[in-house]
Amino acid sequence: MHSLFLITELVEHIVASMAKVERPDPDNLCHCLIQSLTPDAAKDIRSLGLTARLFRDPTLDALWRVQSSLAPLFRSVGAVGPPQTPIIERESWTLRRFLNTDDVPILLQYSSRISALALSNLSPLFPDYLPLLRSLPPTILFPRLSRICCRESGIAEASFVLARMGNSLTSAHMLSKTVIPAGIVSQLRHSPAILRFVQLESAVGGALQDGELTSSEIQNLLRETTSLLNLFLWANANEAMWYAASRLPLKLLLFRASELRPFSSVENTTFQMLTFLRLDIPGFSFLLKIFSKVSFPALRTFLCFFEEYRRGSHAEAAALFAAIDRVCPNATLTELWIERTEYTEDTEHPTDYFIRPDALRPLLRCKNMRSLLLRLEWNWDLDDALMQDMAQAWPDLRELVLDVETPSWPTVPRITFRGLVALAFGCPHLKHFGAGLDTTPLSPSYRTELAQESAATRRVNTNLWDLRIGYSTIREEHVEDIAVFLEDLCSQLRLYGANYDDKWPRVNMRIRDLRGGRESQIQK
């Protein structure tokens, strides 16, 4: 018996090959791949091949309509043997050209099979035919659509799709260069019971078209959805949206309120299941207002970016970190990143604006801390005792970076190499460390004691490779001692951020020489 053999895979090869032909010769089109194809069949295959990157299954189904032209090719194929591994396995296609009039009917014919659709400025779905398509009866063209993504342009096309889809939407990404219409938000309410992911982002100052109307629609959307897990409100959100979001089982929330005044009234709010939170807000006073009556029992990652032209004082920093500790009653925080996006030009450093160690101590309660990044251009005056406490409280710490891009430390910092040793040995997974350092070499007796203890306990850090020393100064006579000490401490160490002292690059070069010499001895 004879039967068709791997016809699906062979047809896929035909489709892929035909789609690569930019300018086929009309006279020889039927001889491109299979000479037995009729000209009409070859044209059909080429037309379908050009859309294959968008719609794999519909293209293959359409090719079966011309299988009578392909049948002679397979009549001599032997019996089918053991199951064959598919030659091509693809679930999505990307079309990097504008669709034409020949494509639109095919797309509409097979729209019922589309489950995910991405619209962008490179390949708008219906570029010149939107008026015609809008005149079609309001029938359900996309009953299986579950994910839609609209980037930069294509808002009108997204509106057309949303108006003709079923109740199956689980994920919606709307990113616009201009504004997001209120109608789009209203259309997202097709599937409130199963919607899992919503992203609304505008590049025009966080603006939303028809501000009050859109705000009302977003609030209605948040009230009606019951299963939303991820929410990106990257479009000038307000406090009503904040409270509406708190009633959802969210696990991830990105919230921008950069153009709003602080919340007028704060209600007691609890985000029971939230594990990831990012806030883009006007300033840390705004954050203190929000955090005065909110709780995150399961929060693990907190990122905060704010615009603040002035430096924070010790009292303000202490209030900020105490508030962060208070809103995480279960001490579940593992990653904290706070960054100020607007910087001052002042060079004065009043005493009350130096932030002392006790401001950061509330964070030590979070025993699972892995990453602490503070890029605030605040003035820090920390010490070795805090580094030792961090090493004891955070044994799983991977990253600790404290304002090393700007000269925000005293001329002689109180963190010495003893603090670095405490972190390197107390946090064996530590990879990145950045802070202002007092570069006075450790005494020979302490280094001998450290070497003996390290040999006895076999404590060594092989992960620390990124040491950002920022504006820390170094004396000429200390270059060799520091290079030897750092190479002994961490075998993979590299120095970064030597912003103005040309002696640090020499330390780096000397470390490489020492490392190369030791590797040569090992090889011998």
Rounded to 5°, the CA angle 91-94-98 comes to 145
- Please state the pTM of the whole predicted model: 0.76
Q: What is the DSSP string of 404-450?
A: -SS--S-SS-B--HHHHHHHHHH-TT--EEE-----PPPPHHHHHHH
pLDDT band at 76 (very low <50, low <70, confident <90, very high): very low
**Averaged pLDDT score across all residues of the chain:** 76
Greatest CA separation for the chain: 93
Name the strand (E) or helix (H) holding 68.
helix 67-74
Instruction: Determine the residue type at 267.
Output: E
457 pLDDT more than 70: no
pLDDT digits (tens, 9 = 90+) for 277-297: 999 888 888 888 889 889 999
Q: Higher-confidence residue: 465 or 151?
A: 465
Structure tokens at 487: 């190479």
Q: How far apart are CA 81 and CA 103, in angstroms?
A: 37
pLDDT digits (tens, 9 = 90+) for 97-107: 555 556 666 66
pLDDT band at 364 (very low <50, low <70, confident <90, very high): very high
pLDDT at 445: 84
Q: How far apart are CA 262 and CA 400, in angstroms?
A: 30
How many Cα atoms within 13 Å fall on the side-chain side of residue 4? Answer: 13
Q: What is the DSSP string of 24-49?
A: --GGGGGGSS-TTS-HHHHHHHHHHH
Coil/strand/helix, residue 509:
helix
Contact criterion met (CB below 8 Å) for 329 and 295:
yes
Q: How far apart are CA 468 and CA 405, in angstroms?
A: 9
pLDDT at 494: 80
Sign of the dihedral defined by the CA atoms of residues 186, 188, 190, 193, in that order? negative
Structure tokens at 421: 């040793």
Name the strand (E) or helix (H) holding 246.
helix 239-246
Q: Which of 199, 200, 247, 254 lies closest to 227, judged by CA?
A: 247
Contact criterion met (CB below 8 Å) for 149 and 176:
no
pLDDT at 193: 81
Q: How far apart are CA 169 and CA 40, in angstroms?
A: 39
250-271: b (≥16 Cβ within 10 Å) or e: bbbbbbbbbebebbeebeebeb
Q: Which of 471, 386, 463, 464 lies closest to 437, judged by CA?
A: 471
Instruction: Determine the residue type at 375.
Output: R
pLDDT digits (tens, 9 = 90+) for 382-438: 999 999 999 999 999 999 999 887 777 877 789 999 999 999 989 999 999 999 889
Angle (deg, nearest 10), helices 417-426 and 479-489: 10
pLDDT digits (tens, 9 = 90+) for 206-256: 444 445 557 788 888 898 998 999 999 876 677 888 888 999 999 999 998
User: Burial, 27: exposed, middle or buried (Cβ in 10 Å; 0-12, 13-18, 19+)?
Assistant: exposed
Share of the chain above pLDDT 90, in %: 26
Q: How far apart are CA 251 and CA 524, in angstroms?
A: 55
121 pLDDT more than 90: no
Structure tokens at 335: 């990653």
Structure tokens at 405: 């891009």
Q: What is the mean pLDDT of residues 33-47?
A: 54
Contact criterion met (CB below 8 Å) for 173 and 150:
yes
pLDDT at 134: 60
Q: What is the DSSP string of 249-276?
A: --SEEEEE-TTSPSPSS---EE-SS--E
Q: 523 Cβ partners below 8 Å, 6+ apart?
A: none
Share of the chain above pLDDT 70, in %: 65
Angle (deg, nearest 10), helices 211-224 and 239-246: 10
The rounded Cα 107 to chain-centroid distance in angstroms is 32
180 pLDDT more than 60: yes
